[in-house]
Homo-oligomer: A and B are copies of this chain.
Amino acid sequence: MKFATYDDGSIDGRLLVVSRDGRVAVEAAAIAANLLTVLQRWRACEDPLRRLSEDLNSGKASGAFALDTARCLAPLPRAPQWCDGSAFLNHFRLMERAFGTPSIPDLETIPLAYQGASDDFLGPHADAPFVSEDDGIDFEGEFGVVVDQVEIGAKPDEAADSIRLIVQLNDWSLRTLAAREVRKGFGFLQSKPSTSFAPIAVTPDELGSAWRDGRVHMNLHIARNGERIGSANGGEMTFSFAQIIAHCAGTRRLKAGTIVGSGTVSNADRATGSGCLTERRTIEMLDLGAARTPYLGFGDRVEMQARFADGREGPFGRIDQKVVAAR
């Protein structure tokens, strides 16, 4: 199943079921008003939504219309929690060098994740507002999962069973502020503005064999002003989503609808490029002696699109946003 959310002025938006090809949608208000409600009542909603999805895919759903992603909010405009991992250790090792932070001893045994804000996500084509170009405006291309309620102390296999949806996202980051916040140890707050999401959230079966080992084995194509930045594969996560979820639920439950992120997609093979500008700048420093790629400025455009290994477009749709000055 594939879901999107239209803006209807409400906080959680209006639920749409989207066709397999991503072109057609139908309202699902008779089943649930919005996607958050679906996640809170998954058991009751799943079967009727599957029937509606099948009707839509076979051309039998009444009221079907062409999906306009310009009208889409994030699939979940707000979520109970947003916990973002940093599961691509290739990226993390490079970032350690960039920020000069001391190496973490248990990096390969305990997943690393931070608590993000989850009240105000951006849709795929919304302008992304920032206060200052001096803050080191950067993107982070990621995959994420949306879970059912996860109990305290859940093991990774229970955590795996809690995964309901997969999403594609851009964890906007402000690098100048992040360096300061990481040094203080209290984590990211000012350095993580609202996160953006591709328009379509999908059940894991929509990915076929690209969803395996609790990882999204798809390439995340990222461009800045049309220039390719990277197309790294999501399969190289050191920790699976199940392991990251279990970590996040280690001492408290996660309410249904919580989103857990992969961290910036990154591969050891440098030919795949980077999932964020900081990683690219770090590689430039290491290879060329100095960073050459500037951070983002107002007016810059960032596109992200997942593709299957054979080049087919992924099911999430595109993120295509412009960086703008706030207010």
Contacts and interface: CB of A to CB of B under 8 A. Distances in A.
A251 B128 CA distance: 11
Nearest to A130: B251
A11 B153 CA distance: 22
A87 to B, nearest CB: 12
A251 B120 contact: no
Given A80-B119, A115-B117, A152-B129, A251 B191 contact: yes
21 contacts: A80-B118, A81-B118, A81-B119, A83-B189, A104-B183, A114-B187, A115-B116, A115-B187, A119-B258, A120-B253, A129-B152, A131-B250, A135-B251, A152-B327, A177-B251, A181-B185, A182-B186, A187-B188, A187-B189, A190-B251, A193-B252
Give the 5 A-B CB pairs with smallest separation, nearest first.
A187-B187, A80-B119, A182-B185, A119-B255, A114-B186
A247 B104 contact: no
B115 A184 contact: no
Interface of A: 11, 40, 78, 80-81, 83, 86, 101, 104, 106, 112-120, 129-131, 135, 151-153, 174, 177, 180-194, 247-248, 250-255, 258, 326-327
B40 A174 contact: no
A188 B189 contact: no
A106 B188 CA distance: 16
Contact of A327 (B80, B153, B247, B250): B153
A227 B153 CA distance: 31
Contacts of A129: 152
Contacts of A78: 80, 255
A186 B188 contact: yes
A248 B189 contact: yes
Given A112-B184, A185-B187, 5 more contacts: A78-B80, A113-B186, A129-B152, A186-B188, A194-B252
